[in-house]
Amino acid sequence: MNVPLLDLVAQYGAIKDEVLPAMMRVVETQQFIMGPAVPQLEAEIARLSHATHGVGCASGTDALLLPLKALDLRPGDEVITTPFTFFATAGAIHNAGGTAVFVDIEPDTFNIDPAAVERAITPRTRAIMPVHLYGQMAAMERLLQIAQPRRIPIIEDACQAIGARRTIDGEWRAAGELGWVTAYSFFPSKNLGAWGDGGMIVTSDDAAAERLRRLRLHGGAKQYHHDEVGTNSRLDTLQAAVLLAKLPHLAAWSAQRREHAAYYTRAFQDVPQVTPPAVDAANEHIFHQYTIRAERRDALQAHLKQEGIGHAVYYPIPLHRQPCFAHLGYQDGRLPQAERAARAVISLPIYPELTRTQLDRVVSGIRGFYR
Ligand SMILES: Cc1ncc(COP(=O)(O)O)c(C=O)c1O
């Protein structure tokens, strides 16, 4: 039995009777651009994030790029981020005219190390960009302690972490609640995935929301009046309708992912070559990915491929070692935790619709390799 890494068709079968009519309502009204589903979804995602405003845009990449543009970066301005993330995080910094400053990660959660962030701050630091990797929040309270006294804005890359929460001083705080602005991606594989590209920015800063709404529409609040140069980065109404129909399922889907994760973690307890993902005690993880550290990772990967068991390495080359950032001068060994993680991680199927039989197949495939 093959187990795919992701099975969007299984989810489609379960929800098509809710999603297709919602899409058809958009088709029947022909309101494809900024139709009513867009502001409705913006309000819902802002509420989920304990934030005031949602600003839909074309992708998670743009949800990072537009706030960085709103910082009006000048050459040499620095944005501190993690090298152990999807490329878009650092690509957006570059494309907004800034310089990415990469700092190391915590080895257990794979998230940015706040102490390393503090050491990297200079007079040119214009923002800090943590990524809530794989679906668990970075140590926001420690990042805020560093950023707030220095008035450095935090841009949360929550593209993998919609609905994730963290207890801070005894209270649940949501992804998207504590940063200056937060970026979400609705890429189809995400916990809340569109049927195409889509993204959203949330913020509780009124002025920032107004500026971001302008920037996504060619820089003008009024049609054909341009206060500044923006771009076309709207969220498609059809995608907003799909997402609104899917949103009521999000919490249950993420809970199902947590159950699968707990099942794997129990099953790997007596496999010393496998280190299951660590969940910070303060966090409620949404398990966008279930990512283990594995001994002889590359050989395990070949074995799983042969066995028909879906897997992926997120991410094999940390961003400070990518050829496009060679000019930044990071040598091999400079960020050892990120480099070590890139050599050891492998992600396993974790989508909500996985059956017990499929989970067992993944477990036996891995146990079989180390036997
Ligand atoms: C951490 C992270 N940042 C940014 C992005 C970019 O999102 P998108 O693919 O919607 O542009 C993604 C997702 O692909 C991501 O996982």
Separation between Cα atoms, residue 230 and residue 133, nearest integer Å: 29
Q: What is the pLDDT, as a whole number, of residue 344?
A: 98
In this predicted model, what pLDDT tens digit does every residue of 5-61 receive, in sequence order?
A: 999 999 999 999 999 999 999 999 999 999 999 999 999 999 999 999 999 999 999
Instruction: Please indicate whether residue 88, judged by its CB atom, sits closer than 6 Å to ligand 1.
Output: yes
Instruction: Please indicate whether residue 289, judged by its CB atom, sits closer than 6 Å to ligand 1.
Output: no
> CA distances (Å), 233 to each of 23, 66, 218, 227, 359, in order?
20, 9, 9, 17, 39
Q: What is the pLDDT, as a whole number, of residue 223?
A: 87
Separation between Cα atoms, residue 330 and residue 101, nearest integer Å: 10
DSSP, collapsed to helix, strand or coil, labels residue 150 as helix
- State pTM to two decimals: 0.98
CB atoms within 10 A of CB 263: 17
Q: How far is the CA of 88 from the centre of ligand 1 (A)?
A: 6
Q: What is the pLDDT, as a whole number, of residue 221?
A: 85
Please say whether the beta carbons of 342 and 105 come within 8 A: no
Closest CA to 347 of 271, 260, 281: 260
In this predicted model, what pLDDT tens digit does every residue of 303-325 receive, in sequence order?
A: 999 999 999 999 999 999 999 99
CB atoms within 10 A of CB 145: 12
Instruction: Please indicate whether residue 60, judged by its CB atom, sits closer than 6 Å to ligand 1.
Output: yes
Chain centre to alpha carbon of residue 177 = 15
What number does the ligand 1 atom closest to the CA of 288 have? 16
Measured torsion, CA atoms of residues 167, 173, 174, 179, in degrees rounded to the nearest 10: -120
Q: What is the pLDDT, as a whole number, of residue 79?
A: 98
Instruction: Please indicate whether residue 82, judged by its CB atom, sits closer than 6 Å to ligand 1.
Output: no
CB proximity list for 114: less than 8 A, separation 6 or greater: 138, 139, 142, 143, 145, 146
Instruction: Please indicate whether residue 283, judged by its CB atom, sits closer than 6 Å to ligand 1.
Output: no
DSSP character at residue 324: G
What number does the ligand 1 atom closest to the CA of 187 have? 10
What number does the ligand 1 atom closest to the CA of 199 have? 10
- The one-digit pLDDT tens for each residue of the chain (371 residues) are 899 999 999 999 999 999 999 999 999 999 999 999 999 999 999 999 999 999 999 999 999 999 999 999 999 999 999 999 999 999 999 999 999 999 999 999 999 999 999 999 999 999 999 999 999 999 999 999 999 999 999 999 999 999 999 999 999 999 999 999 999 999 999 999 999 999 999 999 999 999 999 999 999 988 899 999 999 999 999 999 999 999 999 999 999 999 999 999 999 999 999 999 999 999 999 999 999 999 999 999 999 999 999 999 999 999 999 999 999 999 999 999 999 999 999 999 999 999 999 999 999 999 999 99
Q: How far is the CA of 119 from the centre of ligand 1 (A)?
A: 27
Sign of CA dihedral 323, 325, 328, 330: negative
Closest CA to 190 of 173, 180, 175: 175
Roughly how many angstroms between the first and final C-alpha of the chain, as a whole number? 20
Question: Considering only CA atoms, which residue is closest to atom 7 of ligand 1?
Answer: 60
